Amino acid sequence: MSIKKTRQKLVDVARQLFAKNGVASTTMNDIALASGKGRRTLYTYFSRKEDIYYAVIESELERLSDKMEEVAAKNIHPQDKVIELIYTHLSSIRETVVRNGNLRAEFFRNIWSVEKVRKNFDEDEIGLFRKVYTEGKAQGEFDIDDVELVADITHYCIKGLEVPYIYGRLGRGLTDESSKPLVAKVVYGALGKRISSKSDTK
């Protein structure tokens, strides 16, 4: 098995154990036994449990990043793309947290540790929004003076919605489909679809 595959195998096994038993109750020996790789191999890749915990989070964020990039690459209207990016982020984060069972408590408890691992993902996502906003501005769909600032604001707004969205506190009783038009109205208003001036119509 290649080095990359061996490392990923260890990360996958660790994720399953963390999700089932919690990070605190899982030992390096548990991971070594469950992976069938042995302690020596495990310690070759990860010197401590915290390192493999961070690798698990990073791996989950990479999955989310891939989904976001797929949306950004779609040949759809820039406005629709923004809404789809927002909902892809939120639904994927919720899916990740729910899928990982006991790991979710650790995820929220160690938010500052998670922040360190999230740095690359956050920067990549901001870059995707910059790209979409630049595209929409060039097409005359968005009236944005500072694309970088608006991309930053969008990212941090979505990030702030993660916890209430995961716990179903965002738009109680509304499905994603029924809430999308309401969210779109707010987002489109903020992005300021360009309005023709009187001089443009002459």
Based on the domain organization, do 75 and 115 belong to the same domain?
yes
Based on the domain organization, do 66 and 29 belong to the same domain?
no
How far is it, in rounded angstroms, from Cα 63 to Cα 58?
Answer: 9
Q: What is the mean pLDDT of the chain?
A: 87
- Scored b (16 or more CB within 10 A) or e, 47-77 reads eebeebbbbbbbbbbeebbebbeebbeeeee
How far is it, in rounded angstroms, from Cα 193 to Cα 72?
Answer: 19
Whole-number percent of the chain with pLDDT over 90: 55
Based on the domain organization, do 71 and 156 belong to the same domain?
yes
How far is it, in rounded angstroms, from Cα 66 to Cα 58?
Answer: 12
Q: Residue 106: which H helix or E strand, with range?
A: helix 103-109
How far is it, in rounded angstroms, from Cα 160 to Cα 154?
Answer: 10
Based on the domain organization, do 148 and 181 belong to the same domain?
yes
State mean pLDDT over 185-194. 83
197 in any annotated domain: no
pLDDT of residue 36 exceeding 50, the answer is: yes
Contact call for residues 122 and 162 (beta carbons, < 8 A): no
Based on the domain organization, do 58 and 131 belong to the same domain?
yes
201 in any annotated domain: no
Per the structure, the count of domains in the chain is 2
Contact call for residues 70 and 76 (beta carbons, < 8 A): no
pLDDT at 125: 96
Predicted model pTM:
0.82
Torsion of CA 22, 113, 62, 175, to 10 degrees: 70
Based on the domain organization, do 17 and 72 belong to the same domain?
no
The residue ranking higher by pLDDT, 40 or 104, is 40
State mean pLDDT over 84-105. 84
Phi, psi of 8 (to 5 degrees): -65, -35
Domain with 25 in it: 1-47
Cα 48 vs. chain centroid, distance in angstroms?
25
Contact call for residues 33 and 58 (beta carbons, < 8 A): no
Which range (38-47, 170-179, 183-192) has the least confidence? 170-179
CATH number at residue 27: 1.10.10.60
Cα 119 vs. chain centroid, distance in angstroms?
11
| DSSP-assigned letter for residue 168 | T
200 in any annotated domain: no
pLDDT of residue 107 exceeding 70, the answer is: no
Based on the domain organization, do 184 and 114 belong to the same domain?
yes
